[in-house]
Amino acid sequence: MLTTTQTPKRRLMRFVAMMAGLALLTGLSTGPAAAAPATVYVGLGDSIAAGTGGGPSSPPCHQTPAAYPSSLGGVNVACFGATTGSVVQLELPFVPSNAALVTVTVGSNDVGAGNVAATCTKAPGSPACQAALFDSVAIQLPKLPGRIASMVKAIRQKAPSAQIVLTGYPRLFTSNPLMTPEQLATTQSVNRATDLLNASIALSALLSRARYVSVTDRFINHGVGSSDPWIVGPPSLCIPTVNCPTQPEQLFHPTATGHIQGYSAAVAASFVGVG
């Protein structure tokens, strides 16, 4: 999800430069005779795949060890702020042609979901909230299936034998009796928008012959507002030491528990036949 003013392209370009420098240094230290190990699993995508929210992180990509690609033994090149386009342009080059598995969590930034969450939490039921929801669902979401299809095609061209897995997103909120009527209405609207986003990703996966992994059920009763939240919430709705942000980038991202018990558990179950 995208919640900062720094452009995704600038963050991702910095990450590419860092990765390229690391690759160069590795090559120089090992010498031309050293053979690079085969990469079986590569994780691509946005801040969810990067593990943002799962602990302290640094720019540009805000990766944490709690990220599901990392905790499941993959090479994680996902980056905060990524869209379908930047996955292809800036992350896909790091996928080797012999990859056996590629997972992707992306789409939220394409449709402005971060802006919806931030705007509607700050001013629930406001015209600004309604405008953000309308732009996300009515204007941006219809464009997503085509973008995902192009992304999956590019991944398949780069790694023809790879199993491709697309994931969905968790509902951010769990309603509770302490919420005002405006907050209750907004949480329901934002959760419905998330359901529409997930339906679009799932249909795109089906049409592109990729696998879709839902995390919706695993996060039920673990949204912001629940007694056991797995999503980092704003100060007005979070529980100290449980899901309050310590860095601004963490807001509306899974906690370490959410990444591991939510995403890692769900994605691991889709690894049938990969080896």
The model's pLDDT over 20-74, given as tens digits with 9 standing for 90+, comes to 333 333 333 333 334 444 558 999 999 999 999 999 999 999 999 999 999 999 9
Amino acid at 103: T
The model's pLDDT over 186-198, given as tens digits with 9 standing for 90+, comes to 999 999 999 999 9
Beta strands in 51-194 (DSSP E): 75-76, 101-105, 163-167
Distance CA 48, CA 80 (A): 8
Q: Report the pLDDT value the prediction gives residue 24, as an integer from 0 to 100.
A: 31
**Do residues 167 and 210 touch, judged by C-beta distance below 8 A?**
no
Amino acid at 167: T
**Do residues 67 and 82 touch, judged by C-beta distance below 8 A?**
no
User: Whole-prediction pTM value?
Assistant: 0.85
Distance CA 72, CA 93 (A): 21
Smallest CA-to-CA distance from 158 within 107, 212, 83, 88 is with 88
Domain residue limits, the chain: 8-268
Distance CA 161, CA 142 (A): 29
Q: Does 271 score more than 60 pLDDT?
A: yes
Looking at the domain 8-268, which fold is it? Rossmann fold (3.40.50)
Q: For residue 190, give the 3-state DSSP assignment.
A: helix
The model's pLDDT over 110-155, given as tens digits with 9 standing for 90+, comes to 999 999 999 998 899 899 999 999 999 999 999 999 999 999 999 9
